[in-house]
Structure 1
């Protein structure tokens, strides 16, 4: 995978967070999200502490709210679901500003919003500080199966190419008078998706043959040095704090 292909979620920088090996950041993000999800929804103070840990990491890595805010829109469908829950759920109800809201629905909405938002923020932090080309090596060092690493590597390499093809096909259809917003164009859209799928399948076969002819054995070569003891201690420090917070929240 060429190092010249930079993912749009990656934020160029030379901070200590950027310099950490990928396997450290992947494990830290995974365990951190697990700790957030496992935290009782009633422990509001715990979620505030999680956010404080993230703010410290952002300050060190040079990640600003202006960069994070537009990328948080991926969470919008979950926000819509959370807003509807207090009106749709049954159970005890309270009146807020003249609206009758379900207490279980409010708790469920809070649970979705806070955990989903923190999970997305952790993922964005990982993406902003980890180059795409470093992810396969990090996954390999975490003993992820080779076939999974290979699939992830090729997906990261070719997803932008496929997205570009879809955009060019859409532009060509509009140039020929097509209106993709109308319902009667569903068939044409479906045929376009099928065409992209066939192209992706054929390209995958050609890429596999080309890689096999060059001696590819199913293992992604590791091009960087593994993480040292200091890297693990420094990189996992926020995660250890998150696990301690989650444990304390259950004990309290």
Structure 2
């Protein structure tokens, strides 16, 4: 998560986190609810996102490189037209399944837009602010606690993995060789044990420093209606697009 946050001082970054969370959720719901046959609607959603990127000063290349996480879903979407059944149509001289092509497009378009919305939220909101935003939205305390410890635990595992990799390389381990896969597998098991033990120590340290299960709020003034309206403007435009797509 820290790698996904781009600190900056833009209108998008200055919005309260709870406003951005609600806007992102509403935008994703609009995308998911759009009929897959309304191709133009997905283009408008992408245009809205592009406008947000301009306001937040997020380079498209930065978004594109991190959106590669959805590659497995892209492969599935591209394979569906060839493996699905149903009526066949010819595309560039190749016979493909019409229901499969629509299903693949549905996965590709909605999945990609969902990932892009999530990346935009992560780029403009720090992990701590995300937790604070969930707290202000009255999300159950248990969910907030799990999310908080998960964010911290990811850093714990990454730190342990880096140290163990350095130690293995210093002892002559080279992960490029196939016969050393056993050592890599044992290292993964050791990483789980060590990260679990360190996670317990991290939790005890948090409790000893006054952790009560909730992130301390910064004491900001209540969010005004003007701020809510400005933050939800892209989601409102997405709702307009959805309404036009659902119009018979």
TM-score normalised by length of structure 2:
0.91
Distance 1:94 1:171, change over 3 A: farther
CA contact (8 A) 2:13 2:125 kept: yes
Q: How far did 1:46 drift?
A: 1.0
CA-atom RMSD in angstroms: 2.0
Alignment of 1:39-54 (within 5 A): 39-54=34-49
Q: Distance in 1 between matches of 2:94 and 2:19?
A: 47
CA contact (8 A) 2:160 2:194 kept: no
Give the aligned partner of residue 114 of structure 1. Answer: 109
Alignment of 1:21-100 (within 5 A): 21-100=16-95
Q: Distance in 2 between matches of 1:32 and 1:71?
A: 20
Q: Distance in 2 between matches of 1:178 and 1:206?
A: 29
Unaligned 5+ runs, structure 1 = 1-5
State the SS of the aligned residue for 1:8: helix
Q: Distance in 1 between matches of 2:168 and 2:76?
A: 34
Give the aligned partner of residue 144 of structure 1. Answer: 139
Q: Which moved more, 1:80-89 or 1:221-230?
A: 221-230
User: Which of the numbers 207, 228, 231 marks the counterpart of 1:232?
Assistant: 228
CA contact (8 A) 1:23 1:227 kept: no
State the SS of the aligned residue for 2:90: strand
Instruction: Verify: 1:19 aligned to 2:14, yes or no.
Output: yes
Any idea what the Cα deviations from partners look like across 1:157-185, whole Å, max 9, x if unmatched? 33123113213323433444444456654
Q: Which moved more, 1:158-167 or 1:33-42?
A: 158-167
Q: Distance in 2 between matches of 1:152 and 1:86?
A: 38
Instruction: Verify: 1:199 aligned to 2:202, yes or no.
Output: no
CA contact (8 A) 2:156 2:199 kept: no
State the SS of the aligned residue for 2:212: coil
Give the aligned partner of residue 3 of structure 1. Answer: none
Q: Distance in 1 between matches of 2:146 and 2:22?
A: 19
State the SS of the aligned residue for 2:6: coil
CA contact (8 A) 1:32 1:239 kept: yes
State the SS of the aligned residue for 2:4: coil
TM-score normalised by length of structure 1:
0.89
CA contact (8 A) 1:137 1:224 kept: no
CA contact (8 A) 1:10 1:127 kept: yes
State the SS of the aligned residue for 1:90: coil
Unaligned 5+ runs, structure 2 = none
State the SS of the aligned residue for 1:27: helix
Any idea what the Cα deviations from partners look like across 1:195-228, whole Å, max 9, x if unmatched? 2222222223222222323332222211252422
CA contact (8 A) 2:175 2:184 kept: yes
